[in-house]
Amino acid sequence: MKARPKHGWEQDSKLDALGLPDEDFDYDEFIAREFGGKPHRRTGVKWYWWATAVILLGLIILAGFSLFGWGHNAWR
């Protein structure tokens, strides 16, 4: 007799013991063990990059007004 193919929802018995955490899993202890317990360094954009972006945006808008005539007929 030919063996029928397994469906996706059927699992092998070898997958039953994956070592997944149980209900008394301590997440904070796991993070400290895996990542050394060092506090996370705050990431973000420095203030001078924000200032640079605002200045560049202003220059692009001014260039658009002067080169492409943006706003030339806006007030007429």
User: pLDDT tens for residues 7-66?
Assistant: 666 656 665 666 666 677 788 888 888 887 666 677 888 999 999 999 999 999 888 887
* Torsional sign, CA 30, 33, 34, 37: positive
Cα–Cα distance for residue pair 65/53, rounded to 1 Å: 18
pLDDT band at 1 (very low <50, low <70, confident <90, very high): low
Q: What is the pLDDT of residue 62?
A: 86
pLDDT for 75 beyond 60? no
Q: What is the pLDDT of residue 35?
A: 80
Cα–Cα distance for residue pair 18/60, rounded to 1 Å: 56
Q: What is the pLDDT of residue 63?
A: 84
Record the pTM.
0.41
> For residue 63, how many C-alpha atoms fall within 13 Å in the half-sphere facing its CB?
6
Per the CB < 8 A criterion, the answer to whether 70 and 64 are in contact is yes
Spatial CA neighbour of 26 closest among 38, 18, 37 = 37
